[in-house]
Amino acid sequence: MFDIERWQEIFETLSKNKLRTFLTGLSVASGIFILVILLGFSKGIQNGVTDQFQDDASNLITIYSGVTTKEYKGHNPGRRVQLKNDDYTTMSRKYEDYIEYKTPLYAIWGGLISYKNESGNYQLRGVMPDHQFIENASIETGRFINQSDVNEFKKVAVIGHKLKQDLFKDVDPIDKNISVFGMNFKVIGVFMDPGGEREESQAYIPITTAQKVFNAGDNIRNMLFTVKMNDNFNEAVALSSNISKGLESQLKERHNVAPDDVSAV
């Protein structure tokens, strides 16, 4: 039922308190405006992250190490855990029935790469052939790193599309030599990545070559695995989670890290 007296009382109250009414209305309007802006900003970030990783493998497990935060088995906290080739080999064999693609990774985060008079600072990654499929990088021209390159410590490089544009402009880079941190590498391929310029501003070389030329011994930075997927989504998620937990637990045991130390592995 429409109560006219109640509405008259409301309008009289509002008319007697014009400033309060105005400020209240302004506050509500401002709040709604800010909410709309924040929702739009949040959606923009979400879309940006989605675009950045939209074509990376959705079943990817990445293992990286850090610094211990807890004393364990006589080892003091503050100890850096260093992953090794043997860690990668052992974990790969243990879970080989469940793993589709795999690679260790040794990354150099920034250094000079040049061709003739053009140069710039770019990230360099030492990887295995499977890395192409983990990143879902598409080869624009040439080829990706193969097992022969890895076995023979070849000084070959696959460069990103952005890096190619920066250094070579319109020149075909295949079989051209570039200077990578002062060392000559032959370009064997150019890749494109849906992650955009950030991903395409780097170069891949065989991991064995990276370890050799940068005196890294058998050290690696990361291990990347993709889990074989099946048609049952829930089972696939559960399998990925179990493998991830298993990898973490076993690597902690190998490196004498407390099971509940979340920073070390």
Whether residue 43 has pLDDT greater than 50: no
Lowest mean pLDDT among 8-17, 39-48, 178-187: 39-48
Rounded to an integer, what distance in angstroms lies between the CA atom of residue 78 and that of residue 264? 9
| pLDDT over 80 (residue 166) | yes
Q: What is the pLDDT of residue 50?
A: 39
Q: What is the pLDDT of residues 52-82, one digit of tens each?
A: 434 445 689 999 999 999 999 988 999 999 9
Chain segment 130-161, per-residue pLDDT in tens: 999 998 889 999 999 999 999 999 999 999 99
Instruction: Quick: pLDDT tens for 73-110.
Output: 988 999 999 999 999 999 999 999 999 999 999 999 88
CB-neighbour burial class of residue 103 (10 A; exposed 0-12, middle 13-18, buried 19+): buried
- Distance between CA 122 and CA 113 in Å, rounded? 7
The amino acid present at 124, given as its one-letter code, is: L
CB 200 within 8 A of CB 161: yes
Give residue 29's pLDDT. Answer: 58
Identify the pLDDT of residue 15. 61
* Whole-number Å distance between alpha carbons of 152 and 244: 32
pTM of full prediction above 0.85: no
The closest alpha carbon to 133, from 157, 163, 158, 100, belongs to: 100
Identify whether the C-beta of residue 209 lies closer than 8 Å to the C-beta of residue 126: yes
Burial code of 177-216, b = ≥16 C-beta within 10 A, e = fewer?
A: ebebeeeebebbbbbbbbbeeebbbbbbbbbbbbbebbeb
Q: Taking the mean position of all CA atoms in its chain, how far away is CA 93? A: 24
| pLDDT at site 6 | 56
Phi, psi of 56 (to 5 degrees): -75, 155
Cβ-proximal residues to 61 (8 Å cutoff; 6+ apart), any chain? 224, 225, 226, 227, 240, 243, 244, 247
Distances (CA, A) of 198 to 94, 104, 192, 194: 34, 21, 11, 10
